[in-house]
Chain A
Amino acid sequence: MTPGLRRLLLTGVLSMLSAALTPRTRPARPRLRPLLLAWVLLMALLAIEFGAAFTPLGRSARPFVLIPAVLMVAVVGTLFMRVGRGVTIVRLFAAAGLLWLGILLGLGSLDPLTRTDYPVQTGNPQ
């Protein structure tokens, strides 16, 4: 990650925090600033992904191009869908969905990733 990108992410996180901390009064003007910020962040992350398509990465390292996608999902969730606002159970439900998704993918991949050829006799006939 370039320093510029890091700064961009940092401002994103900070503004998410400030959005979550501002009191819930109805603004006289529409709250477009966080949405614009989200859009900029999303386009930046998309550009990183697009660039990654042309980066030489080993076959087993390629799934790491999913990291920007996860960040994009986080941006959409916090700034477009406003998971931080509203009643507490909204966050509970979102967290539950993520946790169970983790269980499904984590324990589900455990088998193929650790499945070995059946233990053959190591006593070599030679």
Chain B
Amino acid sequence: MSAVEVEAGTVKGSYLTDGVTLRSWLLTTDHKRIALLYLGSITLFFFVGGAAAALIRYNLITPQGMIASAETYNRIFTVHGVVMVWFFLIPAVPVTLGNFIVPLMLGARDLAFPKLNLASWYLFVIAGAVVLYSLFVGGVDTGWTFYTPLSSNYARGHVVLTVVGIFIAGFSSIATGLNFIVTIHRLRAPGMTWYRMPVFLWSLYATSVILVLATPVLAMTLLLLAFERIFGIGVFDPALGGDPLLFQHLFWFYSHPAVYVMILPGFGVVSEIIPAFSRKSLFGYKFVVWCSISIAVISFLVWGHHMFVAGTSLYSALVFSILSYMVAVPSAIKVFNWIGTMHKGFIHFDAPMLYALGFIGLFTVGGLTGLFVAALAADVHLTQTYFVVAHFHYVMVGGMVSAFFAGLHYWWPKITGRMYPEMWGRAGALIIFIGFNLTFFPQFILGYLGMPRRYHSYPPEFAVLNVLSSAGATILAVGYLLPLAYLTWSLFRGERAPANPWRATGLEWMTPSPPPTVNFISTPIVTEEPYSYPPPESVQRHV
């Protein structure tokens, strides 16, 4: 991608300095500014959800529970689930890094529908406000899964309010996904053929397919749940002829693909970083690309594996089990490809690379334990225990949050025009990796031993492992606070970033840091494959 020279010097100011009033931010249609608005919002939610997580680990230090009331505990883990899933994990990479980077990577000036993009942020904020309000006026104690008939007929608390919040957040997701898909189809720079697109774009394309096609099902499900709770319509109520498993089918039709909404962008981020810091092109580019797309499709065929012991038909359990193994194949292929990329590379250990390597390790553990719960008979023993909790935290927190941090560090110079302190970045990556394993590895064993999830108190024989997990959580908490501190510091004191601090490929590095409002002064023309890192010999000389 050589046709564009860095135009530093010809541009005065950047998207950050074009308009400094609050109004110019709140009414902006610039994808870069909207990305920053989103970044602020999801950071807030990450720490709300994180505080709930801290309280959960605090409670479980002793078998009888440190928090006196079981009801309070139940509300806390519901908040943790709802906020983390819908207000951090699902939006995190797409709406921040995606929003910022997608048009830049494509060589476009903005997304296809900038006003829709701004509207999606407002929807997100309104949704978040509704959910936080419901939390302050008493919260919900159903778990984030809202299983009927508990949520419809039995739970106290503000179920309808929370559901309304999630319903609105869903439309924000749909707007974002729709924008990305149309943008990637229609706004590629001249010469940017499909196979010249970096994997990050492919991943966000796959993510958006899921957002756009799964979220409406959640919307209808939540609508029916709200009707069920307010009017007692009975669609999910066995006493009125309904079927509670219908709720679970509809819910997981959305929520299982949503897991891939959380992880696919992470795949994309890592697929950018590993080649950039190995100074080598991505191993098996086309395989990685098509793995992303096939994950997006197959992820819709596996939701039934959440229901192996729920009372579905035996045949449907068998079908869903084998399909679940199918979806694991492309994920496995990706891990092999990243490692293949490192082979014979020139590996630099900057903070983004360390986070990315942490991602590969933790995601591999998460993926492998997924095989346990996809095997029908093993799932019978392991499901609904801490084994499952550990499994999905390895994928979503170990995997996805590491990838989010990797991407945030990688593109931080581009977004802010400042460098973060490198040593602190590396320390953060290491502490998060260690803290994460200390927190969640014991939970695999707890789960095998049979400790059920969502328990406020537990039999004393589980105490040692729980204390270990809670101790690890304190390290993890330090690991997450660290980036907040040094990244904030770098905003004011960080070194000025050059246009391409990593000597990386990709159109986003061909424009100044931070980019001008119009992204590119002249439309870039793409002439090369992605990841065209110079041959190793020349790098060696350079080093």
Q: Could you tell me which A residues sit within 8 Å of B by CB distance?
A: 89, 96-97, 100, 103-104, 107-108, 110-116
Contact B253 A108 (CB under 8 A): yes
Q: Knowing A107-B301, A115-B312, A116-B314 touch, does A100 contact B213 (C-beta < 8 A)?
A: yes
Q: Is B313 an interface residue (CB 8 A)?
A: yes
CB distance from B319 to the nearest CB of A (A): 7
B245 within 8 A of A: yes
| Chain A contacts for B320, CB-based, 8 A | 107
CB contact between A110 and one of B209, B253, B316 (< 8 Å): that residue = B316
Q: Which of B209, B213, B217, B304 contacts A111 (CB 8 A)?
A: B304
Taking CB atoms, residues of chain A closer than 8 Å to B182 are: 89
Inter-chain contact B313/A96, CB cutoff 8 Å: no
The 10 closest A-B pairs by CB, nearest first: A115-B313, A114-B313, A111-B316, A114-B315, A111-B312, A100-B213, A110-B316, A89-B185, A111-B313, A103-B300
Q: Which residues of A contact B350 (CB under 8 A)?
A: none
Q: How far is the CB of B111 from chain A (nearest CB, A)?
A: 16
Closest-CB distance, B372 to chain A (whole angstroms): 23
CB distance from B150 to the nearest CB of A (A): 20
Residues of A within 8 A of B249 (CB): 108, 111
Across the interface, do B301 and A112 meet the contact criterion of CB distance under 8 Å? no
Cα–Cα distance between A1 and B320 once the two chains are bound (Å): 38
A113 to B313 CA separation, bound complex (whole angstroms): 8
Query: Across the interface, do B213 and A96 meet the contact criterion of CB distance under 8 Å?
Result: yes
> Which B residue's beta carbon lies closest to that of A92?
B185
- Answer whether residue B529 sits at the interface, using C-beta atoms and an 8 A cutoff: no
Q: Give min CB distance, B207 to chain A, whole Å.
A: 14
Q: Are B243 and A100 in contact (CB under 8 A)?
A: no
CB A108 to nearest CB in B, in angstroms, measures: 5
16 new A-B contacts, CB < 8 A, other than A107-B319, A111-B304, are A89-B182, A89-B185, A89-B186, A96-B213, A97-B213, A107-B304, A108-B250, A108-B253, A110-B313, A110-B319, A111-B245, A111-B313, A111-B316, A114-B316, A115-B313, A115-B316
Interface residues of B toward A: which range? 20 to 34
Closest residue of A by beta carbon distance from B315: A114
Distance of B87 from chain A, by nearest CB (Å): 25
- CB B242 to nearest CB in A, in angstroms, measures 12
Contact A100 B316 (CB under 8 A): no
In the bound complex, residues from chain A placing their C-beta under 8 Å from that of B313 are 110-116
Please give, as numbers and ranges, the residues of chain B lying within 8 Å of A116 by CB-CB distance. Answer: 313-314
Query: Which residue of chain A has its CB nearest to the CB of B250?
Result: A108
- What's the Cα separation between A114 and B301 when bound, in Å? 17
> Shortest beta-carbon distance, B142 to chain A, in Å?
23
Using A96-B209, A111-B304 as known contacts, say yes or no to A104 and B319 having CB atoms under 8 A apart. Answer: no
Residues of the B chain whose Cβ atoms lie less than 8 Å from the Cβ of A110: 313, 315-316, 319
Q: A86 to chain B: closest CB distance in Å?
A: 12
User: Which one of B185, B300, B312, B315 contacts A100 once the chains associate, using CB atoms below 8 Å?
Assistant: B300
Cβ–Cβ < 8 Å partners of A89 in chain B: 182, 185-186
Residues of chain B from 229 to 284 with CB closer than 8 A to chain A in the complex: 243, 245, 249-250, 253
- Closest B residue to A93 using CB positions: B181
A111 to B213, CA, bound (A): 21
**How far apart are B86's CB and chain A's nearest CB, in angstroms?**
21
Residues 384-420 of chain B: 1 if any A CB is under 8 Å from the residue's CB, otherwise 0?
A: 0000000000000000000000000000000000000
CA of A104 to CA of B304, assembled, Å: 11
> Pick the contact of B217 from A104, A107, A112, A113 — CB < 8 Å?
A104
> B360 → chain A, closest Cβ, in Å?
31
In Å, the complex CA distance between A115 and B315 comes to: 8
Question: Closest CB of chain A to B324's CB: distance in Å?
Answer: 12
CA gap between A65 and B388 in the complex, in Å: 45
**Cα distance A111–B248 when bound, in Å?**
12
CA distance A97 to B301 in the complex (A): 15
Give the Cβ gap from B246 to chain A, nearest Cβ, in Å.
8
Cβ of B250: which chain A residues have Cβ within 8 Å of it? Answer: 108
Q: How far is the CA of A100 from the CA of B213 in the complex (A)?
A: 7
With both chains docked as a complex, state the minimum distance between the C-beta of A66 and any C-beta of chain B, in angstroms: 20
* Contact string against A for B residues 501-543, beta-carbon threshold 8 Å, 1 for contact and 0 otherwise: 0000000000000000000000000000000000000000000
A55 to chain B, nearest CB (A): 27
CA distance A112 to B209 in the complex (A): 28
Q: How far is the CA of A112 from the CA of B304 in the complex (A)?
A: 12
Q: How far is the CA of A108 from the CA of B243 in the complex (A)?
A: 13
Can you show 10 pairs from A to B with CB atoms below 8 A apart?
A: A89-B186, A107-B303, A107-B304, A107-B319, A110-B315, A111-B304, A113-B313, A114-B316, A115-B313, A116-B313
Give the residue name and chain of the A residue nearest to B303 (CB).
Answer: A107
* Chain A residue at smallest Cβ distance from B185: A89
**Which B residues are CB-close (under 8 A) to A103?**
300-301
* Bound CA span A100–B320, Å: 16
